Structure 1
Amino acid sequence: MAPDPPFLPPIPLLLLPLLPALLLFSQSTAESEDKQILLRIKDDWGNPPPLSSWNSSGDHCSWLGIQCAVGGGDAVAGISIPSINLTRPIPSSICKLHGLTHLDLSFNNIPGPFPSVIYNCSALQYLDISQNLFFGELPADIDRMPRNLTDFILSANNFTGDIPTSISRLPAIKRLHLDYNLFDGIIPLEISNLSTLESLWLAANPFLPTSIPDEFGNLTGLTFLWMAKMSLNGRIPETLGKMENLEHLDLAMNSLTGEIPAGIWMLKKMKKLYLYANKLNGGINESIGGEGLVEIDVSTNNLAGTIPEVIGQLRNLSILFLYFNQFSGAIPASIGKLPKLTDIRLFNNRFTGILPPELGRYSKLANLEVDDNVIAGELPEHLCNGKALTSLIVSDNMLIGNIPESLGSCYTLLSLHIQNNGFSGEFPAGIWSAPNLSVVIARRNSLTGSLPNKLPRNLTLLDIRNNQFIGKIPSLAGNLRMFNGDGNKFSGELPANFSEIPFLHVLSLGNNQITGKIPATIGSLKFLNQLNLTGNLLSGEIPESIAAIPVLNSIDLSVNHLSGQIPPTLGSLKLNFLNLSYNFLTGEIPMALQNQAYDQSFLSNPSLCASQTLIELPTCRDQSISHTKISITLLILGFSLFVVVVALSAFLYREHCRSKSINHDSSAWKLTAFHPVDFSESAITRGLTTRNLIGSGGGGMVYRVSLRRKTVAIKKVWNLRKLDAKLEKEFEAEVKILGSIRHANIVKLLCCVSGPNSKLLVYEYVEKGSLDSWLHRRRRDHYRQPSLSWPKRLKIAVGVAKGLCYMHHDCFPAVIHRDVKSSNILLDLEFQAKIADFGLARILARGGEPETASVVAGSFGYMAPEYAAMRKVNEKVDVYSFGVVLLELATGREAGDGGDDEEGNLADWAWRLYKDRGGDMGKMVDEEVVGGSPEFREEAEVVFMLGIMCTGREAAGRPTMKEVLQVLTKLERGRGGVGEKCDGGELINGKRRFSKLAEERKDSELSFCVF
């Protein structure tokens, strides 16, 4: 018998009219309670500025990141506040929001161990705490998470140890994302028990080397499996073919061997298959059944055989990457009929036959890369039918015939690489009309035709050497970096508009029929690195303005009709190569060039002579000069020397007296301290002696002065009666920035001292000198200084990254250095890096908004292309410069070292080499420091890769310093990951995005994300 119901006293009739009001009061009380909890959470997080809308006034359901329950009053159901720079732990009060089902705190800086306070959020279904600073092991009782949890996203933190087996007891889990952490144990087999799982991300963790468990085939509900870069070996299990719902499989960058199981090729729902950068063999299965396949990337393996004709049935295929394998045979003609195919990369294989004639006819083909094969025949006519073709790379094959006229109307074209083939006929003139055309490389063919009157404005690289082009050299375009037209039939005079192409690095027009004089305007090419005009019909004198090109290191003007004297100032250049042979030059060779380094540089100039016996040329003597004239000349010289000595002595005496008077008159100096100091102005000024001078530059002299308790470095702005506006501005910028900065990796400005005729900056003294001297002085000056070990190099990289990250992300407004380079990175006794020389730094007036610099400042080899071209300043110019420093650390090369080719700097050399070797680092890293250590080599390769990403041509495609620091920090602590792009909800590895287009470094070709 059922028990009687409890007795409830009747509601008084008088209170019935008030019942709706009482219910409303109860609801508003709950609303008020959730609002108060949110305000308490905000306080616990330190009242971050982005949460300024969280205040006591207004409806809390309209606050930033707050979502209230639909149809459930004003109870808080969701909090989504990514990327607001939270730096404190998750408060326990967050679970007092009893209706909270969704919590997204990703892309913040929340520290500490796993936040077990979340166990108390009983209604929680979605948790995303990725991209934070959590560390330590996951708790063994992780199964205490809320029972309704479906999304558990912990990507890109610093979790270590094993993944606890109890994680397999989360009953409702659908998405488990543990990628890009530091898990270094084994992969728990128990994960295979998660029957509800739909998405599993384990990629980029340093797990112990292991094979993929066969049991994972039981995850039949899985749609997304990402296990890239996690030390997998052995074969791909056949059981994965049972995953009938699998749409996305990524096992890239492991050491998997054997063949790709036939069952994987036959998965009907498969859309994206990434198996690149393994050691797989075999070929592509004839029974491809996944008609839904959208992307296939099995590049960089040991796959062989032919491409099956059945691949033409994959009607949804848009990306086909098979490069760096050993495929052979013909490319199936059926590929040309695929309606959605946009990107084909088959380079570095053994393909023969012809290109499918209908390529581009039925799809909007954007990229075709088939270079480094043995393909014959002609280029298909329809490549640009879809008006989408941006890149055509067919170099190093056996192609013949004319370039299709249809390419002349392909206005989307950005890049054309057709070098080392047998193309002939006239180059289509319409190609030059493509508005965004950036790169044309057509060397070593038999092409004819002429260049347009003016090259396209966006063209950066033109290499058409060893063809049969005729006509005049056109007016050059403003963005041009390299023009190589050697071995053609160009005639006429050189254009005089060199001042309009200020960023040209290489000008090589040897072995043509160019006439006239070398224009004096050539001296305006301040970034010109190589000048080659050999084998032409040039006449007149060598313009003296050539000596004004500061970075010029190679000159070849041989086999011309040049006359007159060699400009004496030519000896001031630091030339690696000089050839003025076979001309009609006269007079004495400049003294700076009279040494054995140039003993073959002046051959067959009958009227040249030298006073040094090192050069095999006639000695400069004029027997007509009488002894009397010699005596008079010596007398005049002696008298002149006497006058100079007397004048100099008087000047030095006056300066000494004036300096002594000023130095001991403390009232003439004003000291402004930024840190506690225990010295006076006079102690500083007394140290400004020649004995203490340690360096000088464009901004002033630097002294090392030992005081009673410390040694300081003093930078003295040039002692002028009135400082010019530029130096005044540099001084004020340095004082303003450094005086406000407090960071261990930024050189400390102790104080500044202003005097009547000079200004002094007093820094902490950094004992070990500059990074530049440690990396390169040994090579330049044969200085017997020990090489920096790899751990020290990595430590230095982390230190500089911390300093720049602080400047970019923790200073408001952001601080932009603008001249990051190895000589501006100082090292203390512990090899801790400190960023120095902020004379060129600027503070952005509005955060995140580019500022136009009035003067381009910076150093060759370190300067971002948009900074030089557009004078646009934002944080990414520092990222580019730091990327060059990373390349210096990894390779041991200098920033201006472009190798044997004409590119001219380290960043271009690195991109070119990576592209040519397809990701195989080989000898790219500095053998002297990595030696035989596999660990050091792996770390150096990651730093090299990161340097490449930081030096991308498009600023938007470069990582932020925060992302760079995360990679380097992970690398220093253990192993890190680099190179993935966030593309919607999925991740595409950056290594796959490297292609033969790396020469242009387009943003679409290389993207970056850290997890």
Structure 2
Amino acid sequence: MAAIMLPSALALFSFILTLLLFILHCTSVSQDGMILLKIKKENWRDPRNILSSWNEAHQNPCSWKGVSCDTFHSVTTVNITGACISGNLTSAICGLPNLTALIFQTNSFSGPFPRGLLQCEGLRLLDLSSNQFSGTLPIRIFELSELRVLNLGDNAFRGSIPPAFGMLKKLEGLFFHGNSLSGAFPTFVGNLVSLRNFTISNNPLLPGVTPKELGNLKQLQQLWLYNCSLEGGIPEVLGNLTELESLDMSMNRLSGDIPSSLMALSNLRVLTLSENNLSGQIPATIGQLRSLSSLDLTDNQLHGTIPQIIGNLTYLDTLIFSSNRLTGEIPAQLGELRHLRVFMVDGNQLNGWLPQSLGTYSNLRDVEVFENNLEGPLPKNLCMGGALFSVDVSSNNLSGTVPSSLQNCTSLTALLVYNNQLSGEFPPGLWDSLNLNYLYLGNNKFEGKISAKIGGAKNLKRLKTNNNLFEGRLPAQVGQLKELMYFDASKNRLSGPIPHELAGLSSVSTLKLDHNFLSGEIPKEIMSLKMLNQLYLDHNRLTGEIPGPLNHMTNLDLSNNLLSGGIPLELGRLRLNVFNVSNNNLSGRIPDGLDNLVFKESYLGNSKLCGARYVMLPPCWSPHKLSSWRLATILLPPLSIAVVALCSICLYRSSFRKPRSTPLWKVTLFSSTEVDELHILRNLKESNVIGSGGAGKVYKILLQNGQVVAVKKIWNTSGLEKKIMRKAEQEENKVGEVEVDAMGLIRHTNIIKLLSCISSEESNFKLLVYEFMPNGSLFDRLHDGPGSHMVLEWPMRYRIALGAARGLCYMHHDCFPPILHRDVKSSNILLDGDLGAKISDFGTSRELDKLGNEYTVSFYVGSHGYIAPEYAERLKVNEKSDVYSFGVVVLELVSGKKATGEAEYGEEEHIVTWIRNTIRMGREEIEVPDKRAVKDNCIEQMMRVLRVGLICTHRQPKRRPCMKEVVEMLVACGGDKLKEKELK
């Protein structure tokens, strides 16, 4: 009996033991989970608590966010993309025995390449892209021999790519884009015959030719080589890449013809060769690319005609031939492309007529043929299929009228026909097209009236009717356009009063009604529009006084009218870039903030204005009209009585109480410079004023220790200066305590140094004490200001560009959180005693949550000519907006010309378009470099720096480099003549 019960007992014991082990397993974290928890606790910082599910309460790590497992519940993948995690990546994670994929894309990891990861020998995918890794690439990368995909893009790796990367024979994807790699192009990539995707774009590599070894990569499907210093011709061997689907070699210095071998790539869908120096003609064999959906050859030196055979590309989606030297007619069969969505041949020198058949096909969406020499009328059937989305035929020689058939085109969102010879009345049904966002009719010969139907275009954002023959009254219905941000009706024949209904333009930031025959008073309601910051009403017949309030105005031109009365005092506190009230009947005192040499011609033709010291107007009270004896006779008796009375009162009060103490001034130091606040206050004299602007006056003061400082007297604060002096009180208008550690955010040799802040609860102003810059601003040096007689030669200009770039790079990449300046311009780059560049004026800056994020602002601040297109047009900003502004400064340094207002610019009034047009004509080396700066055969280097400026001012923010890349590109431009150590 015992023998029978023994097996049963053993079976029961085995069951209980298995049950206990199962329960133990279910109530404890696995070994893999323990490894991940330890890493999270000891090595990572998770500010947004993204990894909250990583805890003992969730025993199975396979259920944790970003963790994937195999069928045996063993961790194979850790993916924490976009979690904002920082810290260290150590070899501890390699303790996961079955780990094959680590994806840490878009986080905040920094420091050198985490060499501990080289112990993860089973890794097949490693993605460290979009972090802040720096230093050199690992020379022992070959230890990860199983890798299939390696993504190191969008970091700050520098130096050369080690040859060891050529030993990763199993690689199918290799990504180096968006770093600071400065070595030679890695020819050993040609050994990676399994590669399907390879990109090394946006790196300041050493200039060199495209390696022929790339022709060995027969499996390659994507090859992105844009902006990596390639020069010479495109090698014929790229025609061997028969599997290639996407080729991007834009933004280099490629030259020569487009090789006919590329036309054999039957699988090619995207071909981008824009922004190079390619010449010759577009190969007639291009029709062999049957799969092609996107072709971009913009900004080259191509000539000849557009091949007729392009009509065979039935899948073509986007066609861009802008900024070349093409001639001839646009092929009529392009209208037969059933899948055509975008057609752009802008910036060429095409001749001939637009084919009438262009728009007779149902799927035509976008027609863009701007900046050519096209002639004849617009095609009549552009919207026959009802799918037309955008038409841009601007800057040609088109004539005739706008086709009436477009009135029925309900899909149309953009109609741009400016800079042509179009005439007649604009089709009535187009004025109220509901879906229109952009309507540009400027610089034509349109007649008639701006229709009252315009109120029906509810989605209109930008309306330009300038420089035409429109007449009659401006319709009040314009005020119904709640989405309108930009309205330009200047240089027409409009008459009558400005409608009060324009106060309904709640989104408008720019309003131009100048050079018309408008009369009556300026409606007060318009001046108080919250978003309005640019107002041009000059050259009309307006009367009455200048109304207020004026909230956020930056540009105001009221010149050449019949205005009377005084200039509103609040104008003196605005940050005005443009201000002109000349040739009116104004009288009275000039507000303090407008007594500035910048506005020296803004008051001409107003004989009753007074009080401006720097613009040479008479004082508001002129004692010379009375003789000295008579003046003394009048003034001496009352003055004597007043003095005696005042002394008596003071003596009387002093006998009863202690003398009143001096107002309590709080001094916050940001440096070791000792500041005597009473000495500063006593020296706030007119004789010490060196500048005046919207924020207040700037004084040059000699401290008691012999140091010269610049003291900025401000009435209230904004941007970073507001952060520096954060209020303790709840009321924003009160002056509060200074936050001592705020200025620690920005400490850099190329950023102006704030020495101290002086404030008092009893005063309505603050004093910011800055280091003094004896050489003024870059604008003054380059243009008409003080010191402009001392010519800046090119080596010094190059040094200034590099210094300013480093200052902005620090703000964008080394501050936490990053800082966006928003008003980068040559007048905000100051020069020290050695002509070293320092970024100044942070009154409009703002902190960023994260680089790359796009922010919408209520209104734009900044200066005309420096503002990025997306900022001006859509009020969208990020750090790439600063990059654009800096690019304009670079163009100023190379050319010696102002951002706007030069006679050479013509109607465009912009340095960027002028330089691009000059390059298009092949005259950049002759016309662009500032002859005053040229020294020791530096033209070649000036052209390299010019290219950096043009890349920074690319219209598309994503195509602009970040500031760390700009610094690397500028350093690379220095070559052997200017070593980096000499520029620090």
- The two structures share one fold, judged by TM-score above 0.5: yes
1:780 is paired with a residue of what secondary structure?
Answer: coil
Indicate yes or no: 2:572 matched with 1:555: no
For 1:195-214, what aligned pairs fall within 5 Å after superposition?
195-214=193-212
Kept in 1: contact 2:728–2:736 (CA 8 A): no
How far apart are residue 781 of structure 1 and its match? 4.3
How far apart are residue 151 of structure 1 and its match? 0.2
Residues 1:508 and 1:141: Cα distance change in structure 2 (over 3 Å):
same
How far apart are residue 319 of structure 1 and its match? 0.4
1:688 is paired with a residue of what secondary structure?
Answer: helix
Q: Counterpart in 2 of 1:241?
A: 239
Q: Aligned equivalents of 2:813 and 2:638: distance in 1? A: 53
How far apart are residue 970 of structure 1 and its match? 3.1
How far apart are residue 365 of structure 1 and its match? 0.7
Q: Aligned equivalents of 1:223 and 1:150: distance in 2? A: 15
Indicate yes or no: 2:41 matched with 1:40: no
Indicate yes or no: 2:952 matched with 1:946: yes
How far apart are residue 417 of structure 1 and its match? 1.9
Residues 1:204 and 1:649: Cα distance change in structure 2 (over 3 Å):
farther
The share of aligned pairs that are identical, in percent, is 23
Residues 1:843 and 1:632: Cα distance change in structure 2 (over 3 Å):
closer
**Partner amino acid, structure 2, of 1:34:** D
Kept in 2: contact 1:176–1:200 (CA 8 A): yes
Q: Aligned equivalents of 1:663 and 1:246: distance in 2? A: 90
Q: Counterpart in 2 of 1:979?
A: none
Q: Counterpart in 1 of 2:888?
A: 887
How far apart are residue 329 of structure 1 and its match? 3.3
For 1:150-165, what aligned pairs fall within 5 Å after superposition?
150-165=148-163
Q: Counterpart in 2 of 1:689?
A: 682
For 1:357-756, what aligned pairs fall within 5 Å after superposition?
357-359=357-359, 361-383=361-383, 385-407=385-407, 409-452=409-452, 456=457, 462-465=463-466, 467-475=468-476, 476-477=478-479, 479=484, 481-488=486-493, 490-497=494-501, 499=503, 505=510, 507-508=512-513, 510=515, 527-528=533-534, 530-533=536-539, 541=543, 543=545, 551-553=555-557, 555-557=559-561, 669=664, 671=666, 683-690=676-683, 698=695, 704=701, 706=703, 729=732, 732=735, 735-736=738-739, 739=742, 741-745=744-748, 755=760
How far apart are residue 121 of structure 1 and its match? 0.7
Q: Aligned equivalents of 1:850 and 1:652: distance in 2? A: 58
Q: Aligned equivalents of 1:742 and 1:516: distance in 2? A: 51
Residues 1:184 and 1:967: Cα distance change in structure 2 (over 3 Å):
closer
How many positions carry a matched residue from both structures? Answer: 898
Kept in 2: contact 1:182–1:974 (CA 8 A): no
For 1:859-870, what aligned pairs fall within 5 Å after superposition?
861=864
Q: Aligned equivalents of 2:44 and 2:526: distance in 1? A: 59
Q: Deviations over 1:211-269 (max 9, x none)?
A: 33444323211111122233334443333223221111122233334433333223221
Indicate yes or no: 2:792 matched with 1:799: no
For 1:189-228, what aligned pairs fall within 5 Å after superposition?
189-228=187-226
Q: Aligned equivalents of 1:921 and 1:85: distance in 2? A: 48
1:288 is paired with a residue of what secondary structure?
Answer: helix
1:942 is paired with a residue of what secondary structure?
Answer: helix
Residues 1:218 and 1:19: Cα distance change in structure 2 (over 3 Å):
farther
Q: Deviations over 1:739-766 (max 9, x none)?
A: 4744314777777666563378676641
Kept in 1: contact 2:434–2:458 (CA 8 A): no
Q: Aligned equivalents of 2:526 and 2:630: distance in 1? A: 38
Q: Deviations over 1:82-131 (max 9, x none)?
A: 34445544212121112211112233443444433222112211011223
Q: Aligned equivalents of 1:790 and 1:774: distance in 2? A: 15
Kept in 1: contact 2:495–2:516 (CA 8 A): no
Residues 1:482 and 1:140: Cα distance change in structure 2 (over 3 Å):
same
1:300 is paired with a residue of what secondary structure?
Answer: coil
Kept in 1: contact 2:69–2:76 (CA 8 A): yes
Q: Counterpart in 1 of 2:313?
A: 314
1:249 is paired with a residue of what secondary structure?
Answer: strand
Residues 1:886 and 1:268: Cα distance change in structure 2 (over 3 Å):
closer
* RMSD between aligned residues: 5.7
Kept in 1: contact 2:447–2:471 (CA 8 A): no
Kept in 2: contact 1:738–1:748 (CA 8 A): no
Structure 1 unaligned blocks of 5 or more: 1-10, 603-607, 613-629, 977-1011
Q: Aligned equivalents of 1:377 and 1:78: distance in 2? A: 61
How far apart are residue 938 of structure 1 and its match? 3.0
Under a length normalisation based on structure 2, what TM-score does the superposition of the two structures give? 0.74
Q: Counterpart in 2 of 1:80?
A: 79
Indicate yes or no: 2:336 matched with 1:337: yes
Kept in 1: contact 2:811–2:819 (CA 8 A): no
How far apart are residue 341 of structure 1 and its match? 1.1
For 1:127-206, what aligned pairs fall within 5 Å after superposition?
127-145=126-144, 147-206=145-204
1:329 is paired with a residue of what secondary structure?
Answer: coil
Q: Deviations over 1:134-179 (max 9, x none)?
A: 444444443222x321001122334444433343332311011223
Q: Aligned equivalents of 1:797 and 1:81: distance in 2? A: 33
Kept in 1: contact 2:148–2:171 (CA 8 A): yes
Residues 1:100 and 1:829: Cα distance change in structure 2 (over 3 Å):
farther
Q: Aligned equivalents of 1:474 and 1:648: distance in 2? A: 61
Q: Aligned equivalents of 2:380 and 2:249: distance in 1? A: 35
Structure 2 unaligned blocks of 5 or more: 1-8, 611-623, 717-726, 975-984
Q: Counterpart in 2 of 1:327?
A: 326
Kept in 2: contact 1:508–1:533 (CA 8 A): no
Q: Counterpart in 1 of 2:103?
A: 104
Q: Counterpart in 2 of 1:294?
A: 293
**Partner amino acid, structure 2, of 1:891:** E
Q: Aligned equivalents of 1:762 and 1:599: distance in 2? A: 28
Kept in 2: contact 1:410–1:434 (CA 8 A): yes
Q: Aligned equivalents of 1:838 and 1:363: distance in 2? A: 49
Q: Deviations over 1:550-580 (max 9, x none)?
A: 84457345xxxx7xx9667699999998886
Under a length normalisation based on structure 1, what TM-score does the superposition of the two structures give? 0.73
Q: Counterpart in 2 of 1:118?
A: 117
How far apart are residue 941 of structure 1 and its match? 4.2
**Partner amino acid, structure 2, of 1:938:** R
Q: Aligned equivalents of 1:132 and 1:91: distance in 2? A: 16
Q: Aligned equivalents of 1:17 and 1:480: distance in 2? A: 77
How far apart are residue 197 of structure 1 and its match? 1.3
Q: Counterpart in 2 of 1:261?
A: 259
Q: Aligned equivalents of 1:81 and 1:38: distance in 2? A: 12
Q: Aligned equivalents of 2:940 and 2:84: distance in 1? A: 37
1:344 is paired with a residue of what secondary structure?
Answer: strand
**Partner amino acid, structure 2, of 1:495:** P
Q: Aligned equivalents of 2:857 and 2:85: distance in 1? A: 31
Residues 1:400 and 1:306: Cα distance change in structure 2 (over 3 Å):
same
Kept in 1: contact 2:537–2:558 (CA 8 A): yes
1:265 is paired with a residue of what secondary structure?
Answer: helix
Q: Aligned equivalents of 1:656 and 1:940: distance in 2? A: 68
